[in-house]
C-alpha cells in the first residue's frame, strides 16, 4: 500500500514539474518576444529623433517641396501616436518608411542638398537606423514564430488553453513595399 502511495506521489510530482517547465518556457518566450518589440521601439525612437533634423535640412533647399515634407512629418506623428505591438503600429511604421523614401528622392533634384554634409550625415544615420529596424523586426518575427509555435504544439496547446496566452502578430511589410521599384530615367 505504501509503495502505491509513493508511485502516485512520484507521478504527481513529475506532472507538476512538467507543468512548471511548460509554463516557464512559455513565459520565457513571451518575455523574449516583448523584449524584441522593445528593441524595435528603441530603433523607432532613434528614427523619430532623426527625422525632424533631416526635414529641417531639406527645408532650406526645397522650399517648394512642402507637400513632401508635410507627408513625412504627418507619417512620423502618426507612427509615434500608435502604441503597443499590433497591426496598426506596423502599418504606421510601414507608411513612414515609404514617405522617407520620397525625402531622399528630393536630393536627386537638388545638387546642393545632395552635397550638404549635414544632409549626407543625417541620411547615413537614417539609413543605418533603417537597417537596424529591419534587423530588429526580423529578430522580433523569429521570437513571434517560436512563441506561437510553442503555444500551438501538443501538449503545450492543452496547457495554453488553461493559461490563455495569445498569439503575437508578425511585423509584416506593407503591400506598397512588396511591389517592384520603378526606376525611370
Three-state SS string over 26-44 comes to HHHHHHHHHHHHHHHHHHH
Which range has the top average pLDDT, 56-60, 79-83, 154-158? 154-158
Contact 53, 122 (CB under 8 A): yes
Q: What is the pLDDT of residue 184?
A: 39
157: its cell numbers: 496547446
Query: Which residues are CB-neighbours of 68 under 8 A, at least 6 positions away?
Result: 62, 99, 102, 103, 106
Mean pLDDT over all residues of the chain? 79
How much is the average pLDDT of 93-99? 77
66-70, 100-104, 164-168, 173-177: lowest mean pLDDT where? 173-177
Kindly report, residue by residue over 162-185, the tens digit of the pLDDT. Answer: 888 899 888 876 655 545 544 332
Select from 10, 2, 176 the least CA-distant residue to 98.
176
Cis peptide before 155 (omega within 30 of 0): yes
* Cα R_g (the chain), whole angstroms: 24
Select from 139, 166, 137 the least CA-distant residue to 150.
166
Domain boundaries, the chain: 2-152
Which range has the top average pLDDT, 1-15, 34-48, 49-63, 78-92? 1-15
Q: What are the CA-CA distances from residue 64 to residues 2, 12, 60, 69, 185 (Å)?
A: 90, 75, 10, 10, 22
Contact 108, 123 (CB under 8 A): no
Res. 63: pLDDT tops 80: no
Backbone torsion region of residue 37, taken as left when φ is above 0, otherwise alpha when ψ lies between -120 and 50, otherwise beta: alpha
153: its cell numbers: 504544439
Q: What is the pLDDT of residue 182?
A: 45
How much is the average pLDDT of 106-114? 64
Res. 64: pLDDT tops 60: no
Helices and strands (H, E) in the chain, number of each type: 7, 0
How much is the average pLDDT of 56-71? 67
Architecture of the CATH domain 2-152: Up-down Bundle (1.20)
Res. 3: pLDDT tops 50: yes
Higher pLDDT, 48 or 146: 146
How much is the average pLDDT of 106-111? 66
Res. 14: pLDDT tops 90: yes
Q: What is the pLDDT of residue 148?
A: 93
Amino acid at each position: 500500500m505504501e509503495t502505491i502511495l509513493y508511485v502516485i506521489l512520484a507521478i504527481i510530482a513529475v506532472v507538476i514539474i512538467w507543468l512548471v517547465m511548460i509554463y516557464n518556457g512559455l513565459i520565457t518566450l513571451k518575455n523574449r518576444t516583448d523584449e524584441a518589440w522593445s528593441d524595435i521601439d528603441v530603433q523607432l525612437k532613434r528614427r523619430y529623433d532623426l527625422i525632424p533634423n533631416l526635414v529641417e535640412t531639406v527645408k532650406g533647399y526645397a522650399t517648394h517641396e512642402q507637400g513632401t515634407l508635410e507627408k513625412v512629418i504627418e507619417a512620423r506623428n502618426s507612427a509615434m501616436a500608435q502604441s503597443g505591438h499590433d497591426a496598426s503600429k506596423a502599418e504606421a511604421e510601414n507608411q513612414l518608411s515609404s514617405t522617407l523614401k520620397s525625402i531622399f528622392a528630393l536630393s536627386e533634384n537638388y545638387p546642393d542638398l545632395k552635397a550638404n554634409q549635414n544632409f549626407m550625415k543625417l541620411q547615413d544615420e537614417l539609413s543605418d537606423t533603417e537597417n537596424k529596424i529591419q534587423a530588429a523586426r526580423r529578430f522580433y518575427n523569429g521570437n513571434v514564430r517560436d512563441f506561437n509555435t510553442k503555444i500551438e504544439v501538443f501538449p503545450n496547446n492543452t496547457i495554453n488553453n488553461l493559461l490563455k496566452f495569445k498569439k503575437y502578430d508578425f511585423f509584416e511589410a506593407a503591400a506598397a513595399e512588396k511591389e517592384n521599384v520603378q526606376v525611370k530615367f
